[in-house]
Amino acid sequence: MGESLSRRLLLGAVLWIAAALVLAGFGLTALFRQHVEAALEARLANDLDGLAAALEPGDGGAPALSRNLPDPLYERPYSGRYWQIEAAPAERLRSRSLWDAVLALPNDEPARGELHRHRIAGPAGQDLIAVERRVDLGAGAPVRITVAASRAELDPALADFARMLAASLGLLGLGLAGAAALQVRVGLQPLARLRAALAALRAGRTQRIEGVFPSEVAPLADDLNALVAHDQALVARARVQAADLAHGLKTPLAILANEAEGRDDRLAQAVRSQAAAMQRHVDRHLARARAASAAGLPGARADALDVARGLARTLAKLNRERMIAVDVEGGPAWFAGDREDLGEMLGNLMDNACKWARGRVLVRLAVAEGRLAVTVDDDGPGLAPAQREAAFARGARLDETVAGSGLGLAIARELAELYGGRVALDGAPLGGLRAVLNLPAAAAGGGA
Amino acid sequence: MRLLVVEDDRALAGQLAAALGAAGYAVDCAADGEEGHFLGDTEPYDAVVLDLGLPRLDGLTVLRRWRAGGRTMPVLILTARDRWHDKVEGIDAGADDYLAKPFRMEELLARLRALIRRARGHAAPELACGPVRLDTRSGRVSVDGTPVALSTQEFRVLSYLMHRQGEVVSRTELTEHIYAQDFDRDSNTIEVFVGRLRRKLGADVIETVRGRGYRLRPPEPAAGGADG
């Protein structure tokens, strides 16, 4: 798997939400600071106007205040609120709060009536906002009136604002992240459905990808279906070719073998043995070629019970001279693979059982933990444990008196292994041999 | 006994006709499905050897049509299609036996004998009627244990009557079952064969039922299909 698409989308969403919120936080804080500073400056300008109104030319031309500002903060030493009136470099009036300090104003010359703002250092290391105006008192030089306030005055309001802002932005962030997660989930749902449809196809419940998908995913589903159909067509064609090859080879083989029959010269012997060898090769490789093309094909599914019953019917009829009862027990069972291949595996095992049985063959189907297990028991002579493995050997016939090519068990095992299954031999409760065919099962139900 | 072989491969059809003829059967051959179906539908065969991959009409379809039309003669499918899937399909379509190519001629003969015998209700491979015994496996006939040599036509007449023993068999029916289709038939020759059989086996073995035909009648007490 590696990277998850939804994790990627979610991570991206969270990142841009966080970045946007942090940026918004900084912007809003800066705006708010600007706003409160402007409000403070407006108050200071107001106080400055009060001072200017109360200023009178005093004795000897030095200005004097007719009344003090009403705000007591201008009286308390180092309170943060200060004013200063400067007529000449040595003639200053100062608020009581300044105590013995002097506001160090930059040397500029604002035009008359113009309001200047400054950031200056105040007493006790305070950071001050100051507003300054030149006022003409009529006689002598204009006076510089300055009113200042400590920026620390704004700190509680700024901190409050920052706290509230952080809380609300955090909540907003959580909400947005949740919404993003929901969107990713809803947005990717067609992919989840596609995955489920693919799983159904692989498990053999459906033959193609079923369902309606949005326009972004639909081409993918269509392509997958086309691919599956192409595979199925390829397999079908391979089967037809295999069947054609079988027909094409087997009739000449039959003719050759028949011509050699009843003669005993060297040519006849060679024809007989070579025809038999060719037949074995054809049987074996056709079976393998067909199964190899079908094993692993998605969507394949076969009704094992139906296949077993068909074989039981057929074998009972083919062996009716010997009156063999072939019974099938078990409920519905599905094989995750090709029906004809299942027929080949089970047919060979059941045929072998019928050859050796005295009167009864019992086939039992069971499904457990995704595996289909078919046991084929007979009441014949059975095989000693030491002989069982040898029975699978290529072309092995442990008893030459019973007809057959001897390939049945070997073909059944090879096919089973192509499907990731196996065939094992054991003793049967009926007294003879038990063959156990273990294969991948397909889920029951759904379209057949 | 008269057989139909439906096989499109000329060489194999020739081999089959030769081997079956040598075994004492009258044999008709059809090289495609339509001809095979027509013959099987209109002629009274005792058994059919049917290939599946046929031109014009598939073997399985031929078989299904016969069975749907009430034709009950035993049918042995002889085919290159040897998958179990094909065998199940063939048997379900109404075949009585299934033999995959390549095959041994001996096995085909054995299976045909068994099919014909069973179709006539005989369980054992050796048919008996009083002192007369006919071994379907070897084609040997004996009276009281003494081998009797019979010509092909005599054997066919006796074999058919043995399979139908106890029943009246008309001259026409006998003719239909001992001659192949393209043979110039003459029902009068049947009388000649019956006469020779009576000389070789004993006069009272084959009974003439006036106006109806012949009957092979076991002497009392009846000894049905006893085996040796």
> Do residues B99 and B183 both lie within one domain?
no
B226 occurs within a structural domain? no
Same structural domain for residues B85 and B136?
Answer: no
> Cβ contact (<8 Å) for A313 and B9?
no
Residues B170 and B108 in one domain: no
Quick one: B110 and B43 in the same domain?
Answer: yes
Minimal-distance CA residue of chain A relative to B14: A255
Contact present, A198 and A211 (Cβ < 8 Å)? no
Closest C-alpha among A380, A303, A384, A296 to residue A346: A303
Instruction: Return the residue in B20, B63, B83 with the most chain A beta carbons within 10 A, the one to mutate for interface testing.
Output: B83
Residue B9 has its nearest CB partner, among A251, A257, A314, at A251
Q: List CB contacts (< 8 A) between B114 and chain A.
A: 321
Segment B159-186, tens digit of pLDDT: 888 888 888 998 888 888 888 876 777 7
Domains: count for chain B: 2
Is the preceding omega at residue B102 within 30 degrees of 0, hence cis?
A: yes
Q: What is the pLDDT of residue A260?
A: 85
CB pair distance less than 8 Å for A344 and B53 = no
Q: How far apart are CA A211 and CA A421, in angstroms?
A: 32
Q: List the beta bridge partners of residue B79.
A: B100
Lowest mean pLDDT among A6-10, A36-40, B69-73, B215-219: B215-219
Identify whether the C-beta of residue A379 lies closer than 8 Å to the C-beta of residue A430.
Answer: yes
DSSP state, residue B221: S
* B102 and B79 housed in the same domain: yes
Structure confidence at residue B227 as a pLDDT band (50, 70, 90): very low
The whole-number pLDDT of residue A89 equals 67
Q: Is residue B221 assigned to a domain?
A: no
Q: Over 60: is that where the pLDDT of B222 sits? A: no
> Which of A250, A311, A315, A409 is best to mutate for the B interface (most B CBs within 10 A)?
A250
CA distance A174 to A83: 48
Residues in chain B, overall count: 228
Q: What share of chain B is helix, strand, coil (3-state, %, to 5)?
A: 40, 20, 40
Q: What is the ipTM of this complex?
A: 0.77
pLDDT bin (cut points 50, 70, 90) of residue B136 is confident
Q: What does the pLDDT read at residue A295? A: 64
How far is the alpha carbon of A227 from chain B, nearest alpha carbon, in Å?
A: 27
Average pLDDT (B50-74) is 93
Of the three residues B119, B134, B154, the one that is the final residue of a domain is B119
Residue B91 touches partner A, C-beta closer than 8 Å: yes
Same-domain pairing of B90 and B38: yes
Domain that holds residue B70: 2-119
Mean pLDDT to the nearest integer, B92-105: 91
Min Cα–Cα distance to chain A from B180, Å: 23
From A437, A422, A442, A207, select the one nearest A302 (Cα to Cα).
Answer: A442
Tell which of B58, B93, B119 closes a domain: B119
Residue listed under structure tokens 């057959």: A404
Residue B17 within any structural domain of the chain: yes
A251 touches chain B (CB under 8 A): yes
Q: Compute the distance between CA of residue B109 and CA of residue B117 in angstroms, rounded to an integer.
A: 12
pLDDT, average across residues B213-224: 68
Measured between beta carbons, the chain A residues lying within 8 angstroms of B9 are 251, 255
| CATH number of the domain residue B159 falls in | 1.10.10.10
Q: How confident is the model at residue B225 (pLDDT cuts 50, 70, 90)?
A: very low
Q: What local confidence, expressed as pLDDT, does residue A362 receive?
A: 95
| CB spacing of A258 vs B97 below 8 angstroms | no
Q: How far is CA A265 from CA A190, A270, A302, A419, B11, in A?
A: 73, 9, 49, 45, 22
| Partner residue facing A343 (CB), from B83, B104, B114 | B83
Q: Is B12 contained in some domain?
A: yes
Last residue of a domain, one of B94, B119, B144: B119
Residues B35 and B73 in one domain: yes
Q: Answer whether residue B109 is part of any domain.
A: yes
- Judged by a CB distance cut-off of 8 A, whether residue B107 touches chain A is yes
Residue of chain B whose alpha carbon sits nearest to that of A340 = B85
Above 90 in pLDDT, residue B138? no
**Same domain for B190 and B145:** yes
pLDDT at residue number A442 = 85
The shortest C-alpha distance from A383 to chain B (Å) reads 25
Q: What is the pLDDT of residue B203?
A: 79
**pLDDT for residue B28:** 94
**What pTM did the predictor assign?**
0.64
| pLDDT tens-digit map of B10-52 | 999 999 999 999 998 999 999 999 999 999 999 999 999 999 9
User: Cβ–Cβ of B88/A314 closer than 8 Å?
Assistant: yes
Residues B58 and B147 in one domain: no
Whether the CB of B38 is below 8 Å from some CB of chain A: the reply is no
Pair B167, B210 in one domain? yes
Q: Is B129 helix (H, G, I), strand (E, B) or coil?
A: strand
Give domain status of residue B223, yes or no: no
Helix (H, G, I), strand (E, B) or coil at B24: coil
For A251, the 3-state DSSP assignment is helix
Residues 111-170 in B contacting A (C-alpha not used; CB under 8 Å): 114, 118
- Give the pLDDT means over successive 10-residue stretches in chain A (448 positions): 80 93 94 94 91 78 78 88 82 85 80 83 88 79 87 91 94 94 90 87 78 87 88 80 78 86 84 85 75 68 93 92 91 89 93 92 93 94 84 59 62 87 90 93 63
Q: Say which CATH number the domain at B34 has.
A: 3.40.50.2300
B15 interface with A at CB cutoff 8 Å: yes
